[in-house]
Amino acid sequence: MILTRPLLAAAALIASLGLARADVTATDILGREVTLPQPAKHIVLAEARHLSVLGLIHDDPVSLVSGWRLARALDEPTLAAYRQKFPDIDQIKPVGAGTRGLSAEAIIGLHPDLVVLTLIDQDDPGTELVRRQIEAAGIPVAYVDFFSHPQENSIPSLHILGKLTGAEERAEEFAGFYETRLDRVRGRLAAVTERPRVFFHVHAAPTGCCSTVGSGVFNDFIVTAGGRNIGAETVKTPVGNVSLEYLIGADPDIYIATGGTHMAARGGLVLGSEVDAATAQASFEALVSAPGFSALRAVEQGRAAGVWHMFNDSPIHIALIEYLAKTFHPALFEDVDPAATLAEINARFSPVTVPGSWWVTPQP
């Protein structure tokens, strides 16, 4: 068959359109291939607080998000900061059903071009049913993970989001920043054989002791920073409970508490967005001076500290790793400044900056 000039021109136009609409393909954290006709512009987030993760690679992450599940929402000061800069944040629709559920009907009604689920969602039968319904409606789904295995999956997950939303260069830039600092920590610890025994007291309060960490999440940070998590000797799940008597008997070299604004009602460690240094310090001193805690050798020797719990679901946890490394091995990391790392993240990558207190140590 001989093509006439009009047919040749039409064929050339179709070919050029095909090139312009080249598929975007990424392999998600579960090894599933996800293909979009173009970078996603209308996303549903399974975790609302992952808006801040999108903010590391997009100047205006709000413009990309059509819906979100509010089970793990942004804290109020961070939400307010985003609202001040991006008023359209109030147009994002909730798509949850119950505490951790998702509504397939609500998601499909938003006509998103991508739904971002998390690794922990794969273990929930209800969410898996919703995922199948969403995909049956022709909506792609990608899994990421910044929480379950943060050391292993955070940067690959950021690359996945970068690829699927047209922000590969920004994702690569942040990855370089992150990996340079992580390599510095690992390099200095390479020859270290003595690792302090660390107890991580999560959601710390003087009463109801003690929730601690086993595998994954904070355990990864402890090990990378050159410590040995004694909680993992007893707790075989990501989080579990031990008694105060166990903690006293275990006699850790270092005691680390985690806290947040949610702990104020329990008289616990208060840290996080818009928490001033005096409030953070007072809550920490009240914790470590309580019966049982005050008798810990780590407290008596000034080898106790408090850290913001919400470092656990974002790549900004690199600053926490630096802080822990400096706490575990002060001589080795004397020149490392985790506060400067956070400041650089805010200046170079984050579209909003929220002041607060992120860690605290005993006052002499």
Q: Provide the whole-model pTM.
A: 0.91
Q: Interior CA angle at 153 toward 152 and 154, to 5°?
A: 110
> Does the N-terminal peptide bond of residue 210 adopt cis geometry, omega within 30 degrees of 0?
yes
Q: What is the per-residue pLDDT for 97?
A: 62
CA distance linking residue 211 with residue 259, whole number of Å: 12
Q: State which fold the 192-360 domain adopts.
A: Rossmann fold (3.40.50)
Q: What is the per-residue pLDDT for 72?
A: 84
Q: What is the per-residue pLDDT for 241?
A: 93
CA distance linking residue 107 with residue 66, whole number of Å: 9
Strand blocks (E) in the chain: 24-27, 33-36, 43-45, 65-68, 93-94, 96-97, 101-102, 114-118, 141-144, 197-201, 211-213, 228-229, 239-241, 254-259, 272-273, 304-308, 356-357, 359-360
Q: What is the per-residue pLDDT for 5?
A: 47
Residues 337 and 264 sit within 8 Å (Cβ to Cβ): no
In the numeric block, which tokens belong to residue 46?
A: 């399974």
Q: What is the per-residue pLDDT for 77?
A: 94
Domain ranges of the chain: 23-166, 192-360
Q: What is the per-residue pLDDT for 18?
A: 44
* CATH topology agreement for domains 23-166 and 192-360: yes
In the numeric block, which tokens belong to residue 196?
A: 């302090």
> How far is Cα of residue 257 from the mean position of the Cα atoms in its chain?
18
Residues 90 and 68 sit within 8 Å (Cβ to Cβ): no
Burial class (CB in 10 A: 0-12, 13-18, 19+), 362: middle
CA distance linking residue 279 with residue 283, whole number of Å: 6
In the numeric block, which tokens belong to residue 359?
A: 């860690």
Q: What is the per-residue pLDDT for 347?
A: 97
In the chain (364 residues long), the average pLDDT of successive 10-residue segments reads 45 45 89 97 96 98 96 91 97 82 94 96 91 97 94 96 98 98 97 95 93 89 96 88 94 97 94 96 96 95 96 95 97 97 97 96 71
Class at the top of the CATH hierarchy for domain 23-166 = alpha beta
